[in-house]
Amino acid sequence: MVDTNELRRTNDDGFTIIEVVVAMMVFAIIALGVSFSTITTIRMTGDARSREVAANLAASEIDAVRAAPDPFTVLDATRTVTIDGTRYTVARSAGWVSTTGTSSGCGTGTGNLQYKRVNVAVSWSGQLNSNSAARADTILAPSSRLNDPRYGSVLVSVLDANGAGASGVTVSLSSTAGGATVTSSIPSTDADGCSYAFKVSEGTYEVRVSRSASLDPAQQSTPVKTIVVKKGRPSRARSSTTTPPLSCPATAPAPTPRPSCPPPVSTSATSARPG
């Protein structure tokens, strides 16, 4: 006679396939959650470490800017640095702030130049949030007074064919009516295409710009802009940069290639209100 209790114990030994599958699914769900949490924690830790490095780079850039002897030499710049395999991009933007509170690269607004505002943003590869770069900013004041109430200032902006600042352009200022001879030298345009003349007597002046192998949209090698410098209120004159691309005439019969066309240069001059 068969013992039913013994038979029951024999049938209960081991697990069924369904039990095994359910156990594996539960384990997979738990393992997936733990893995995701671990990876996220590692990425957030690495991002926090990179942000700390980026903040130090931004602070270092600000220190370098503050050490500059002349605010006019502080311009827009971008550089890359690789630290521990992470690539950091340090972007610096600088602009003069006028008495109206507006800021631009050459300070070509409606007021006098007061100080230069510098902003530094540092981003890095693998950044979790691309809109949360490490940032720092500062302001730079000139070492001497720029604006004299007895005079005006002239701000010159020179752009290339692509609308970017044209550097190395020679700038001259000559009086045509009521003004005085400008004896101080006017620097060539900087990397932002800007040049400045301060303590200019009241009157009408002609601003001439020139650069070797360059023409303006009207195909003039030395374009001239007339400005009026007045005490007490600003006046400005600027040229359009929407002129169609410059076309060069053929200087040799076909099939000889045409000479390359020099980049056009456009000017924008502003007489600034004396402070």
pLDDT recorded at residue 181 = 82
Structure tokens at 186: 């006017």
Contact status, residue 204 vs residue 175, Cβ threshold 8 Å: yes
SS3 per residue for 187-249: CCCCCCCEEEEEEECCEEEEEEEECCCCECCCCCCCCEEEEEECCCCCEEEECCCCCCCCCCC
- Per CATH, the number for 152-247+261-272 is 2.60.40
* Closest residue by Cα to residue 275 from 227, 242, 232, 222: 232
How confident is the model at residue 1, as a pLDDT? 53
Residue written as token pair 């050459």? 106
At residue 198, the pLDDT reads: 83
pLDDT tens, position by position, for the chain (275 residues)? 555 555 555 555 556 788 888 888 888 888 888 888 888 788 888 889 999 999 999 999 999 999 988 888 898 899 999 998 999 999 999 988 877 777 776 766 667 778 889 999 999 998 888 788 999 999 998 877 777 788 888 888 888 877 778 888 888 888 888 888 887 788 888 888 888 888 888 889 888 888 887 777 777 878 888 888 887 555 554 543 334 444 444 444 444 455 555 555 555 555 554 44
Pairing of strands 152-159, 194-200: antiparallel
pLDDT at residue 243, rounded to an integer:
40
CATH code for the part of the protein at 45-140? 3.30.1300
Of the chain, the end-to-end C-alpha distance in Å amounts to 119
Question: Please, are residues 205 and 170 in contact by the beta-carbon 8 Å criterion?
Answer: no
What is the residue extent of each domain of the chain? 45-140, 152-247+261-272
